[in-house]
């Protein structure tokens, strides 16, 4: 079985550009999570969905961040405009019935 | 707010020594999970604890959930170089709710 698939694996962009991160959860999973990992702040929950519906987005830093889940097999996290402080590894994870999380390999974002 | 505190932040041990990391929440947890992240990798699930006072073992790893369901620990006996990585606890306050990660404990093992 394929695990959680994230793209791109690495992204280098300039300040002010739009960034879109993509995630394909494990088939059949009903929860999807977006986390951000930095040395300073650790693993922060940004937003999570249940059955494609956003449940809690209180971790989204500001209006520059938005996330969507148009169907059960796809989610995006968008940053517009991007800033250097957004540089981090962004993880997508999925789970079934709120059980263990399966993480993707992560998307390493560098904003210059 | 809901927060899970984890200590220590770093632990350096000699191979063969034991290692313990602790997690604490100010409010009662529904359950707690533990993950391991190797350098450059992604977090990988180790175990979930649900019941008050629960103890689970996986080979050299022992996981405990406190009686009040506010704290948890992971103990590794006789560490090996393959144990290197960052260990995270993650607490859930409501069944099916969001999972809040502790800051992690980075373990290094000197051969």
Give the pLDDT confidence of B23-76 residue by residue, as tens digits: 999 999 999 999 999 999 999 999 999 999 999 999 999 999 999 999 999 999
- Tell me the average pLDDT of chain A: 95
CB-CB under 8 Å, A33 with B101: no
Residue A28 sits at the vertex; the CA angle it makes with B3 and A32, to the nearest 5 degrees, is: 30
What are residue B82's phi and psi, to 5 degrees? Answer: -75, -10
The predicted model gives B81-104 an average pLDDT of 91
What are residue B51's phi and psi, to 5 degrees? Answer: -90, 150
Residues in chain A closer than 8 A to B92 (CB atoms):
98
pLDDT for residue A112? 97
CB-CB under 8 Å, B103 with A101: no
Smallest Cβ–Cβ distance between B42 and the set A45, A100, A103 belongs to A103
**What is the band of B1 on the pLDDT scale with cuts at 50, 70, 90?**
low
Q: Which of B8, B2, B3 is nearest to B107 (CA)?
A: B8
pLDDT higher than 80, residue A61: yes
Q: Are B90 and B74 in contact (CB under 8 A)?
A: no
The predicted model gives B102-107 an average pLDDT of 96
pLDDT for residue B3? 87
Interface residue B21 vs chain A (CB under 8 A)? no
Query: Which two three-digit tokens encode residue B38?
Result: 């190797």
Q: If you measure CA to CA, which chain B residue comes closest to A45?
A: B100
pLDDT higher than 80, residue B98: yes
CB-CB under 8 Å, B104 with A43: yes
User: What whole-number distance in Å separates Cα of residue B10 and Cα of residue B60?
Assistant: 20
CA distance B103 to chain A (A): 6
pLDDT higher than 80, residue B97: no
CB-CB under 8 Å, B97 with A101: no
pLDDT for residue A1? 64
pLDDT for residue A94? 96
Bridge partners, residue B56, by sequence = B63
CB-CB under 8 Å, A43 with B88: yes
**What is the band of A62 on the pLDDT scale with cuts at 50, 70, 90?**
confident
pLDDT for residue B63? 98
CA distance B101 to chain A (A): 6
pLDDT higher than 80, residue B95: no
pLDDT higher than 90, residue A52: yes
pLDDT for residue B94? 81
CA distance B78 to chain A (A): 27
Residue B34 sits at the vertex; the CA angle it makes with A87 and B66, to the nearest 5 degrees, is: 130
């Amino acid at each position: 079985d394929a695990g959680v698939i994230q793209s791109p694996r690495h992204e280098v962009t300039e300040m002010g550009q739009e960034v879109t991160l993509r995630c394909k959860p494990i088939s059949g999973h009903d929860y999807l999570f977006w986390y951000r990992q930095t040395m300073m702040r650790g693993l922060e929950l940004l937003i999570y969905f249940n059955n494609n519906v956003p449940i809690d987005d209180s971790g989204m830093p500001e209006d520059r961040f938005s996330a969507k889940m148009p169907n059960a097999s796809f989610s995006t996290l968008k940053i517009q405009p991007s800033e250097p402080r957004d540089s981090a590894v962004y993880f997508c994870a999925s789970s079934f019935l709120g059980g263990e999380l399966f993480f993707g390999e992560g998307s390493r974002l560098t904003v210059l | 707010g809901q927060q899970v505190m984890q200590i220590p932040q770093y632990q350096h041990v000699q191979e063969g020594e034991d290692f313990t990391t602790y997690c604490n929440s100010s409010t009662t947890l529904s359950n707690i999970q533990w993950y391991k992240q190797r350098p450059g990798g992604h977090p990988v699930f180790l175990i979930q604890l649900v019941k008050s006072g629960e103890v689970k073992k996986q080979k050299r790893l022992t996981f405990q959930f406190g009686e009040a369901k506010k704290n948890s620990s992971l103990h590794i006996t006789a560490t090996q170089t393959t144990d290197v990585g960052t260990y995270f606890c993650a607490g859930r306050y409501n069944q099916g709710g969001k999972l809040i990660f502790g800051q992690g404990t980075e373990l290094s093992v000197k051969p």
